[in-house]
Homo-oligomer: A and B are copies of this chain.
């Protein structure tokens, strides 16, 4: 069954070891930030530093694993029809809009949408690590200069993950203008037994 994450919102749910998760960009050019926690001990969580180290790549896609801070495999990426994801940048937060865009008014953010959905699992805002940003198109040159460009994903593109341990998963439909070319769109997901 396809679940819908409405524009500028999020979701959190359990995913059992062996289950698959398909994250779908239904309209194209939208980003979904994903964080993972070990369902049996939420102090074990997804780690960008461990994943980039073990996969020896900044760009993480089909065939790679998402690793935890305890050096365990949390997910395997079975399919990735778009092929571009980001694992460098923190989820957009209220401060992102203040510091980078001089926007001091309330702005929905992936950070808020992650921690409010994770409250029911007793996960606090300070526990949110750098997310795996599905479909996010962060370009870099060999001098390290970063730019956030519109996603390359087309309508219907998806990434299919398999859980390698019992997980708590949180996902967003990204709230940052820069990440999705100024549009706010939903994200769809599907859990497959």
Instruction: Please give the residue numbers on chain A whose beta carbons come within 8 Å of chain B beta carbons, in ascending order.
Output: 43-44, 47-50, 52-54, 56-59, 69-71, 88-91, 93, 95-96, 99-100, 126, 128-131, 140-147
With contact pairs A71-B99, A130-B47, A130-B48 given, residues A58 and B144 touching in the complex (Cβ less than 8 Å): yes
Please pick, from B71, B95, B145, the residue contacting A96 in the complex, using a CB distance under 8 A: B71
Pairwise interchain contact B126-A54, C-beta atoms closer than 8 A: no
Contact assessment for B146 and A52 in the assembled complex, using a CB-CB cutoff below 8 Å: yes
Pick from B54, B90, B95: contact of A100, CB below 8 A.
Answer: B54
Contacts of A53 in B (CB 8 A): 88-90, 96, 100
Closest to A58 in B: B144
- Excluding A49-B88, A57-B143, A69-B128, 5 further A-B contacts by CB distance (< 8 Å) are A52-B146, A53-B90, A59-B144, A130-B130, A140-B142
Across-interface contacts of A145 in B (CB, < 8 A): 56-58
Copy count, this protein chain: 2
Q: How far is the CA of A45 from the CA of B140 in the complex (A)?
A: 26
Known contacts: A47-B130, A88-B49. The answer to whether A144 contacts B70 by CB under 8 A is no
The dominant DSSP class at the A interface is loop
Q: Which residue of B lies closest to A90 (CB)?
A: B49
Name 8 A/B residue pairs within 8 A (Cβ), A-sorted: A47-B130, A48-B88, A49-B91, A52-B90, A53-B88, A53-B90, A54-B100, A58-B146
**Which residues in B have their C-beta under 8 angstroms from that of A89?**
49, 52-53
| Contact across chains for B99 and A56 when beta carbons are under 8 A apart | no
A112 to chain B, nearest CB (A): 13
A71-B99, A89-B53 known; A44+B141 contact, CB < 8 A: no
